[in-house]
Amino acid sequence: MSLTIALAGNPNCGKTTLFNGLTGSNQFVGNWPGVTVEKKEGKLKQHSDVVITDLPGIYSLSPYTLEEVVARNYLLGERPDAILNIIDGTNLERNLYLTTQLTELGIPVVVAVNMMDIVEKNGDKINIEELGRELGCKVVEISALKGRGIMEAAEAAIHAAKNEKTIPQHTFCGSVEHALAHIEELVLHDMPEEQQRWYAIKIFERDSKVLEQLNLSEETRAHIEKDIEAAETEEDDDSESIITNERYLYIASIIKGCYKKVSAGKLTISDKIDRIVTNRILALPIFAVIMFIVYYVSVTTVGTVATDWANDGVFGDGWHLFGIGSSAYSDVADEYNEALTVANGFVTYESEQGVDTSAVEAAMDAESEDYDPEAAKAALTQFAATIPAGTEATYEVEDEETLATEDETATVDDLTAAMAVLDQDGYEAPDPANYGVWIPGIPVFVEKALTSIGCADWLSGLILDGIVAGVGAVLGFVPQMLVLFIFLAFLEACGYMARVAFIMDRIFRRFGLSGKSFIPILIGTGCGVPGIMASRTIENEKDRRMTIMTTTFIPCGAKTPFIAMVAGAIFGGAAWVATSAYFLGIAAIICSGVILKKTKIFEGDPAPFVMELPAYHMPTVGTVLRSMWERGWSFIKKAGTIILLSTILVWFLSYFGWVDGSFGMLAEDQIDCSILAKIGNAICWIFAPLGFGNWQATVASITGLIAKENIVGTMGILYSSGAGTVYQNMAATFSLASGYAFLAFNLLCAPCFAAMGAIRREMNSTKWFLGAIGYQCGLAYLVGLVIYQISSLLSGGGFGIGTVAAIVVIVLFFFLLLRPSKKAEIRRNTLAVDAR
């Protein structure tokens, strides 16, 4: 018959570390309380008939939070064959509080004193024989981290499960014992004897869950109540406090007998660090500096290099092995491109002056099938000869990323110099393969392979433009994310993140938010996906859900090119547009927090923040890498599923459509015949009240759901037709009001697929996922509506239904924001927490 052994103990005492050691699993370990929130099962190594259950950490068997309910229900409902109670040897007093309760359950208990490595280092001594005698169960010493004594602990638990009963040694004072005896006799006599005591104590404490479960008659309750009240009068305290106090007195007496603390009174290293790190004045600047470094290294320096390598190298044209030859190549390539820009600029300028430049244009077209460097050289030389000396050519240059255009001027001398450069390279773009060791990117390989097997056009289009491009764009973020995850894993594992929450809590609490919401938001400025995942550090389920819902309001890295595009095309490059995007994000988060907190679903005190600060310690490399990998891997898996499917879908929708009544595959420039355009046209009326009810903007917003980078690309394609540049066409379509509404909508609405996948996974419920997406889109819509309608009104537009709607939204917003919250409820929760 198989045995079940439950690992129970306070948060952060090392249960999961022990669980991993005993079962060989890879469950997540972190240096803050509340890492494990569900129970996990595994088989004990070398004993396939023994099941070990890892439980969330609990301080007592009176449940206040979700994890505590999980643990208690498991212990009471499933009744494991034995409990291995892990206690933190550096914090005996508090940990034993739970132990005194566990021994009353009537389940065999073995106590494992963990963190013995630290206890010994401090020079403290624990007399485990004496401790065992006092508690009435076997006590062993272990170090879960070092793997010391863990198998012995498991063996002891197995032995206890088979042979022993744990009989609580502690007795309460006379009046309480009297009441307990009455309760046992009156209502619990049918219950197995060993379980009676725990239930009696809980009834004495008036535990609502137990009373509900037992469903006592009015008469019996009244009878019991008399006993309880008698004890309360005698002890002059309420029943729950009597029990709590007596437990602590008992623990104090045990500890006196078997614990010698050498380090008593001295400040530990952790205390010393905390004096600085959580100092009222220094805490924030230190945090800002640390986060800046993390952010800087992972997003701008190492991260950018890694992302560029992944995007432009592995999923692009290719890369130089170990970067050898890469800088030499880029120098040459930059020089060549610059020269080409000058030459082409002259050609464009001359053609604007009325000169026929078609011959040189055709010859210089390097993209064309029959490009001939010799002919290009000849044509350009001939063209240059016709230019009068002293000509200054002005032409437009387009920024690759934002598509912003800028005017540049060049003289004839510049042209001569440029031609020299072109000539030097033989009128052919430098080949990166000639510098260092060049490894072609995946698309290049795939394209070659597809061409060599003579793959059909549509299929190679699907594979290259759809799958490789789409999934590649997402996987391209993996290196950057892994770098970020290493830092975060380190900060978590060493114990700093627990402090951050503590520091931020002082500020966020004013808005009714928990301090732990801050970390996800901060990370979200880089990428929403790890931001959403970082919400796991929030133990309170309501706060965690709210944070997941609001984190992506902050502009992430992928949204920045889009912001720049709108600012450049519609607002003449005004700098305030980008700044305002961040303020808009922060305002959306804080206002959402305040408003949602006042609703039934999210109400409650911002997570009773009684988190204790764990001691700092140096994490092992394995822990950090495991944590990094666990997070990274789930992202990669997502790229292989949801993103893969969505890219295929979008590829199909934008490359297929109806031309002249017949359905088929489209050429690049026929996008307005695509199915996507049809869809855009069908639903763009939705956005009419926001001022951008055209199919292009609608479709751009939709492709933005795949990846926010798509918005720029899509706008680039859709607005490139017709006269003028993309920017000019956009400026003609959008007014300032509708442009900003468009920006606001796309910043706040549902994030990209990757982030939505993360939301789905972290919410772990379809209902909540849809709720979150709905909230984001709804909010984005209303914000866009208000921005467009009110600014149209202010700039002299008419007063219509839309204006009325916007005013209603504003009034409603202020009502929701300012209405009083249910303070009384909050206070009750706080009291409940204090009581324990």
Q: What is the contact surface with Mg ion in residues (CB under 5 A)? A: 16, 35-36
Joined together, the tokens standing for residue 267 give: 């400040």
What amino acid is encoded at 359 in this protein? A
Q: Please say which residue, 23 or 143, places its beta carbon nearer to ligand GTP.
A: 143
Residues 369-428 that bind ligand GTP (CB under 6 A): none
Sign of CA dihedral 112, 116, 122, 128: positive
Distances 663 to 337, 458, 548, 656 between C-alpha atoms, Å: 40, 14, 42, 7
Binding residue for ligand GTP (CB under 6 A) from 145, 376, 705, 731?
Answer: 145
Q: Binding to ligand GTP by residue 144, rule CB under 6 A?
A: yes
How many angstroms separate the CA atoms of 251 and 757, rounded? 48
- With contacts defined by CB under 6 A, name the span among 4-12, 291-299, 331-339, 822-830 that binds ligand GTP: 4-12
| DSSP helix/strand/coil, 431 | coil
Dist CA 259 CA 141 (whole Å): 13
CB of 11: closest distance to Mg ion in angstroms? 8
Residue nearest to ligand GTP (CB): 57
Of 604 and 614, CB closest to ligand GTP = 614
Which of ligand GTP, Mg ion, none interacts with 657 (beta carbon under 5 to 8 A by kind)? none
Of the candidate residues 5, 6, 8, 14, the single one contacting ligand GTP (CB under 6 A): 14
Rule CB under 6 A: say whether 115 interacts with ligand GTP.
Answer: yes
Q: 810 near 791, Cβ under 8 Å?
A: no
Q: Which is nearer to Mg ion, 35 or 135 (CB)?
A: 35
Report the greatest alpha carbon distance in the chain: 114
Stretch of residues binding ligand GTP (CB under 6 A), selected from 14-22, 206-214, 251-259, 354-362: 14-22
* Strand-pair category, 82-88 with 438-440: unpaired
List, in order, residues 6 or more apart from 382 with CB less than 8 Å away. Answer: 360
Q: Which does 604 bind (CB under 5 to 8 A by kind): ligand GTP, Mg ion, none?
A: none
Euclidean distance between CA atoms 364 and 382, whole angstroms: 12
Q: Name all contacts of 302-308 with Cβ < 8 Å and 24+ positions apart.
A: 302/483, 303/479, 303/480, 303/483, 303/484, 303/526, 304/480, 306/479, 306/480, 306/482, 306/483, 307/476, 307/477, 307/479, 307/480
> Exactly one of 15, 72, 320, 542 binds ligand GTP (CB under 6 A); which one?
15
**Cβ-count burial of 378 within 10 angstroms (0-12 exposed, 13-18 middle, 19+ buried)?**
middle
Q: In terms of Cα–Cα distance, which of 664, 660, 638 is closest to 652?
A: 664
Of residues 40 and 597, the one with the C-beta less far from Mg ion:
40
Label residue 356 exposed, middle or buried (CB < 10 Å: 0-12, 13-18, 19+): exposed
21 binds ligand GTP (CB under 6 A): no
Q: Extract long-range pairs of 674-677: CB within 8 Å, 24+ residues apart.
A: 676/650, 676/702, 676/703
Choosing among Mg ion, ligand GTP, none, which partner's interface includes residue 33 (Cβ < 5 to 8 Å by kind)?
Answer: ligand GTP
Q: With beta carbons less than 8 A apart as the criterion, state whether 348 and 387 touch.
A: no
Q: Which of 531, 500, 31 is nearest to 286 (CA)?
A: 500
Question: Is residue 612 within the footprint of ligand GTP (CB under 6 A)?
Answer: no
What the block records as the tokens of 333 is 């390539």
Q: Could you say which of 62, 85, 103, 114 contacts ligand GTP (CB under 6 A)? A: 114
Which residue in the set 47, 209, 617, 761 belongs to the binding site for ligand GTP (CB under 6 A)? 617
If one counts every other C-beta atom within 10 angstroms of the C-beta of residue 65, the result is 19
Min. distance of Cβ 259 from ligand GTP in angstroms? 18
User: What HEC string does 127-167 produce?
Assistant: CHHHHHHHHCCEEEECECCCCECHHHHHHHHHHHHHHCCCC
Give CA–CA dist 489/620, Å, rounded.
11
Give the DSSP H or E segment for 43.
strand 40-44
Q: Which stretch binds ligand GTP (CB under 6 A): 112-120, 556-564, 598-606, 687-695?
A: 112-120
Minimum CB distance to ligand GTP smaller for 24 or for 640: 24
- Kind and range of the H or E element at 55? none
Q: Which does 12 bind (CB under 5 to 8 A by kind): Mg ion, ligand GTP, none?
A: ligand GTP
Considering the complex, what minimum distance in angstroms separates the CB of residue 66 from Mg ion? 14
Instruction: Select the binding partner of residue 550 from Mg ion, ligand GTP, none (C-beta < 5 to 8 A, by kind).
Output: none
Q: Of ligand GTP, Mg ion, none, which one sits near residue 114, judging by CB under 5 to 8 A according to partner kind?
A: ligand GTP
Of 137-145, 363-371, 812-820, 825-833, the window that binds ligand GTP (rule: CB under 6 A) is 137-145
Contact assessment for residue 45 and residue 92, using Cβ atoms and an 8 Å cutoff:
no
Q: Is 537 in the site for ligand GTP (CB under 6 A)?
A: no
Judged by beta carbon distances under 5 to 8 A according to partner kind, the member of ligand GTP, Mg ion, none in contact with residue 673 is: none
Q: How far is the CB of 318 from ligand GTP (least distance, A)?
A: 42
Q: Which is nearer to ligand GTP, 16 or 646 (CB)?
A: 16
- Of 8-16, 71-79, 318-326, 357-365, the segment contacting ligand GTP by CB under 6 A is 8-16
Choice between 144 and 347, CB closer to ligand GTP: 144
Nearer to ligand GTP, 114 or 535 (CB): 114
Site for ligand GTP in 29-88 (CB under 6 A): 29-31, 33-36, 56-57
Give whichever of 11 and 568 is closer to ligand GTP, judged by the CB atom. Answer: 11
Toward Mg ion, which CB reaches closer, 29 or 188?
A: 29
Binders of ligand GTP among residues 490 to 509 (CB under 6 A) are: 493
Q: Which partner in ligand GTP, Mg ion, none is near 527 (CB below 5 to 8 A by kind)? A: none
Q: Which stretch binds ligand GTP (CB under 6 A): 138-146, 177-185, 475-483, 562-570?
A: 138-146
Interface with ligand GTP (CB under 6 A), residue total: 26
b or e along 543-555 (b: 16 or more beta carbons within 10 Å of the residue's beta carbon)? bbbbbbbbbbbbb
> Any contact of residue 149 with ligand GTP (CB under 6 A)?
no
Chosen residue from 69, 118, 429, 665 binding ligand GTP by CB under 6 A = 118
| Phi and psi angles of residue 318, each rounded to the nearest 5 degrees, phi first | 150, 180
What is the smallest separation between the CB atom of 35 and Mg ion, expressed in angstroms? 4
158 binds, among ligand GTP, Mg ion, none (CB under 5 to 8 A by kind): none
| Cβ atoms 649, 665 nearer than 8 A | no
Least distance (Å) between residue 760 CB and ligand GTP: 24
For residue 37, the minimal CB distance to ligand GTP (Å) is 8
In 3D space, the residue among 1, 49, 46, 39 whose CA is nearest the CA of residue 22 turns out to be 46
| Nearer CB in complex with ligand GTP: 473/500 | 500
How is residue 115 written in tokens? 């963190």
Among 143, 244, 735, 791, binds ligand GTP (CB under 6 A): 143
What's the rounded Cα separation, in Å, for the pair 338 and 336? 5
Residue 16 binds ligand GTP, judged by CB under 6 A: yes
Nearer Cβ to Mg ion, position 36 or 525?
A: 36
Residue 95 site contact among ligand GTP, Mg ion, none (CB < 5 to 8 Å, cut-off depends on kind): none
Which option in Mg ion, ligand GTP, none does residue 34 bind, with CB closer than 5 to 8 A by kind?
A: ligand GTP
Please give the full DSSP string across 715-771, using - where no structure is assigned: HHHHTSSSSS-HHHHHHHH--HHHHHHHHHHHHHS---HHHHHHHHHHHTSHHHHHH
Helix (H, G, I), strand (E, B) or coil at 33: coil
Shortest spacing between CB 107 and ligand GTP, in angstroms: 19
CA distance 731 to 562: 15
CA distances to 11, 127, 131, 725 from 395, rounded to whole Å, are 66, 85, 86, 13
Q: Smaller CB distance to ligand GTP: residue 357 or 537?
A: 537
Residues that bind ligand GTP (CB under 6 A): 9, 11-17, 29-31, 33-36, 56-57, 114-115, 117-118, 143-145, 493, 617
